[in-house]
Amino acid sequence: MDDVKTDTAATSDRTPATPRDPMVVIEGVNKHFGDLHVLRDINLTVGKGEVVVVLGPSGSGKSTLCRAINRLETIEAGTITVDGKTLPEEGKPLAQLRADVGMVFQSFNLFAHKTIRDNVTLGPIKVRKKSKADADKQATDLLKRVGVEAQAEKYPAQLSGGQQQRVAIARSLAMGPKVMLFDEPTSALDPEMVNEVLDVMVGLAKEGMTMIVVTHEMGFARKAADRVVFMADGQIVEVGTPQEFFTHPKSERAKDFLGKILTH
């Protein structure tokens, strides 16, 4: 990595010297909720293996942007492509694309009527057409990796929030996603459970998973992000490395935001 140091543009030790191939490309995206313009001309390219953390005050449109990437929210204008493919409108092509995009929700959304194991194997069996035995084996490995293998035969309601969210991550990983979206994954958790989920996410980032993370966890952004995207009022206000953003925010909105959350 010696040659990186000669590149004066590299400000963070996680920023690679060579540009990455794009994984997610968002161009000119606009969306309204009634009169509210929630996404205004959003342009953002996320490279393969890159970890992008989206920060911003509530109502800034960051969750909507995250959900638009696998079309849980429709967009009115602009295009979103994932690994070179434009998001299909609906139907089977859309389902296939979603299979390649992992999504982790704020409220976990584990299938309440299925055991932990069945939550993880459902996608691989129904979408990837894996055999039950293969899917089971994979589920065991993944549950081990996120540290909930002992709970495999239980139902979601019997697990703590932190455990449920780790299962939700395992469920997404079981599909072998090209990119993972995290929509405030720790916001619904009790404080003592936040770290067990963040640890799994940091692990994923280190392994080179492409991740787009909407969160309020500044520690995670500092530790794992390649880039921080700051949104306010439906716009991307500032993009930079975590170091740049947290130490020298350029925009007034970002200074104001950081001032409010970092003072205590």
Partner 1 sequence: MLDIFEKYAVLGAFWMTIKLTFFSAIGALVLGTVLAVMRVSPVAVLSRLGAFYVNTVRNTPLTLLVFFSLAGPYYILQISLTDRQSPTAIVDNNIRWAIVALVVYHAAFVCEALRSGVNTVPVGQAEAARSIGLTFTQSLREVILPQAFRGSIAPLGSVLIALTKNTTVASVIGVAEASLLMSEIFENETASVSVFLVFALGFVVLTLPVGILFTSMSRRLAVKR
Query: Which residues are at the interface with partner 1 (CB under 8 A)?
Result: 70, 72, 91-92, 95-96, 98-103, 105, 107, 109-113, 122-123, 126-127, 155, 157-158, 168, 171-172, 175
d(C-alpha 201, C-alpha 206), whole Å: 9
Please say which residue, 109 or 243, places its beta carbon nearer to partner 1: 109
8 Å CB contact between 177 and 100: yes
- Where is 227: in which H helix or E strand? strand 227-232
Please say which residue, 60 or 121, places its beta carbon nearer to partner 1: 121
Whole-number minimum distance, CB 68 to partner 1, in Å?
13
Please say which residue, 125 or 258, places its beta carbon nearer to partner 1: 125
The C-alpha angle 197, 160, 150, rounded to 5 degrees, equals: 85
Beta bridge partners of 115: none
d(C-alpha 100, C-alpha 62), whole Å: 21
Whole-number minimum distance, CB 120 to partner 1, in Å?
10
Report the SS3 class of residue 42: strand
Please say which residue, 12 or 187, places its beta carbon nearer to partner 1: 187
Whole-number minimum distance, CB 14 to partner 1, in Å?
27
Look up residue 258 and give its amino acid: L
